[in-house]
Amino acid sequence: MTKNFLVLDFETTGLDHTIEQVTEIAAIKYDEQLNEIEAYHSYVNLHVEHGLSDFIKKLTGITEAMLATGVPEKDAMAKLAKMIDPQTIVVAQYAPFDFAYLSNHGIYPEVYFCTKTLTNLYEPKEKSGLSDTCKRNGIVLENAHTAMADARATKEVLQLRLSQGLKNYNNTITIQADRPLKFLPQNTKQLIDMKALKDGSYTI
């Protein structure tokens, strides 16, 4: 079988996967040439007691009313899991964040790309957030912080970085001493210090 890519993005009630939940899921499967095969999108029923903060509502545009008819989180994750086969490379803008929520449901991608890491590798002195990366590289990102828009933009960043020769940096995460990782994806093979990238002691 040829490889395929599953680009995913989650919106959540907060940053800590141990006490927060996913509120919106987008997952798009692409073939080896990055042609779209299928897409899945769903809102997720709100189940954390503290609900949605005003900050999250403003950031994502998601409201309690939108989640009232959402699916249970376990059902959404089960659907996503079925989109992953042995040839699937899972892609996320910041894998330590999204994969933390995957781990809550026993999903641990074997092969992955973190596009934030790829941007840090290729442009170590630039901001690597999705919006900044897209703006700098002429990638359209409308409705940022909505799951499907972010997932489609993440695919464009992946395509750009693969064309720039970063195909061997799968299962790799860049780290910063002043921003310790809260979650390290299982199957990570390589950690690269941002300090070494910025001072040139590590080059790609």
Q: Which domain holds residue 132?
A: 4-199
Burial 9-31 (b: 16+ CB within 10 A, else e): bbbbbeeebeebbbbbbbbbbbe
- Domain-located, residue 177: yes
80, 99 Cβ separation under 8 angstroms: no
**Mean pLDDT for the stretch of residues 144-166:** 97
| Residue 23: band (very low, low, confident or very high) from pLDDT cuts 50, 70, 90 | very high
**Mean pLDDT for the stretch of residues 148-167:** 97
What is this structure's pTM? 0.96
170, 89 Cβ separation under 8 angstroms: yes
**Mean pLDDT for the stretch of residues 176-198:** 96
- Domain-located, residue 176: yes
- Domain-located, residue 62: yes
- Between CA 39 and CA 99 the distance in angstroms is 19
Residue 34: CATH number of its domain: 3.30.420.10
- Domain-located, residue 184: yes
Q: Reply yes or no on whether the pLDDT at 87 is more than 90.
A: yes
**Total of domains in the chain:** 1
- Domain-located, residue 204: no
In this predicted model, what pLDDT tens digit does every residue of 90-117 receive, in sequence order?
999 999 999 999 999 999 999 999 999 9
From residue 27, alpha-carbon distances to 57, 104, 107, 108, 160 in Å are: 21, 17, 14, 15, 19
DSSP per position, 31-60: -TT--EEEEEEEEB---STT---HHHHHHH
Q: Give me the pLDDT at residue 165, please.
A: 95
- Between CA 64 and CA 72 the distance in angstroms is 14
| Residue 2: band (very low, low, confident or very high) from pLDDT cuts 50, 70, 90 | confident
In this predicted model, what pLDDT tens digit does every residue of 31-50 receive, in sequence order?
999 999 999 999 999 999 99
| Residue 1: band (very low, low, confident or very high) from pLDDT cuts 50, 70, 90 | low
